[in-house]
């Protein structure tokens, strides 16, 4: 089974009106853009206030402190991954679907000029060692990303398309590791080739587990 989150909220979330929800969402989106560009350490509460045009009291009302805002940004980026990679709508339960997912990842890096890498991966690099509570949110974010990949591979195994000894959970983790490592090298080298190689190698390994492969 895939990892499930045991994450507990760090503070009680305020009950918000529709207008409040919209304001909170706008602040999180703006904060996410700033953090992608400047990092968490390089982004102050005052930066977010100015960019979003909100007061300190509003930020406290919605998030409590910078830590709460960063946690909201992590959840926002996890949602963005699921949406942008179409993991909420497209099941990764065939080799064709895996290839299409791979192509979307490569195309997204190409459109960005190989800048920025993976938002969740960048946050993990900055926060995982120094902020244990943020690390738990990052664990949850990666688990949400891993789950649809594992579910698709499990469906392939259950249909008899992958060998009975194929491990969907382990393969899903390895695919995410390929994405993260490939994205880091792609960002560093400013070319998509590392990401292409990493994903093609992992998908090739999964194809070798196909029952049709003998």
Tell me which residues of the chain have a pLDDT lower than 70.
1-14, 214
Q: Rounded to whole angstroms, how far apart are CA atoms 105 and 185?
A: 14
Which CATH number describes the domain made up of 13-64?
1.10.10.60
Helix (H) / strand (E) element for 93: namely none
| Superfamily of domain 71-213, CATH level 4 | Tetracycline Repressor, domain 2 (1.10.357.10)
Q: How far apart are the first and last CA of the chain?
A: 27
What's the confidence (pLDDT) of residue 6?
36
CB burial readout 4-29, b (16+ within 10 A) else e:
eeeeeebeeeeeeeeeeeebbeebbe
CB-neighbour burial class of residue 98 (10 A; exposed 0-12, middle 13-18, buried 19+): buried
Domain range annotation of the chain: 13-64, 71-213
pLDDT tens string 173-187: 999 999 999 999 999
Contact 105, 114 (CB under 8 A): no
Reduced to 3 states (helix: H, G, I; strand: E, B; else coil), residue 214 is coil
Calculate the alpha carbon distances from 33 to 14, 18, 80, 94 in Å: 24, 23, 12, 34
What's the confidence (pLDDT) of residue 88?
87
Which of 206, 107, 126 minimizes the C-alpha distance to 166?
A: 206
What's the confidence (pLDDT) of residue 13?
58
Contact 121, 184 (CB under 8 A): yes
Calculate the alpha carbon distances from 95 to 14, 25, 26, 151 in Å: 44, 36, 37, 14
């Amino acid at each position: 089974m895939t990892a499930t989150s045991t994450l507990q909220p760090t503070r009680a979330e305020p009950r918000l009106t529709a207008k409040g929800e919209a304001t909170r969402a706008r602040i999180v989106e703006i904060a996410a853009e700033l953090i992608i560009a400047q990092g968490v350490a390089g982004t102050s509460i005052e930066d977010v206030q100015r960019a979003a045009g909100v007061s300190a009291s509003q930020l406290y009302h919605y998030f409590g402190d910078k830590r709460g805002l960063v946690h909201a940004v992590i959840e926002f980026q996890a949602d963005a991954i699921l949406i942008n990679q179409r993991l909420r709508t497209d099941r990764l339960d065939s080799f064709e679907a895996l290839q299409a997912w791979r192509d979307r990842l490569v195309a997204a890096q190409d459109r960005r000029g190989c800048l920025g890498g993976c938002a969740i991966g960048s946050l993990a690099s900055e926060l995982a060692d120094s902020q244990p509570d943020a690390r738990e949110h990052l664990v949850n974010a990666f688990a949400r990303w891993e789950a649809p990949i594992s579910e698709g591979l499990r469906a392939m195994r259950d249909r008899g398309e992958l060998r009975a000894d194929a491990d969907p959970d382990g393969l899903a983790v390895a695919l995410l590791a390929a994405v993260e490592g490939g994205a880091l090298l792609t960002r560093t080298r400013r070319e998509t080739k590392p990401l292409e190689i990493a994903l093609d190698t992992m998908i090739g390994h999964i194809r070798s587990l196909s029952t049709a492969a003998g």
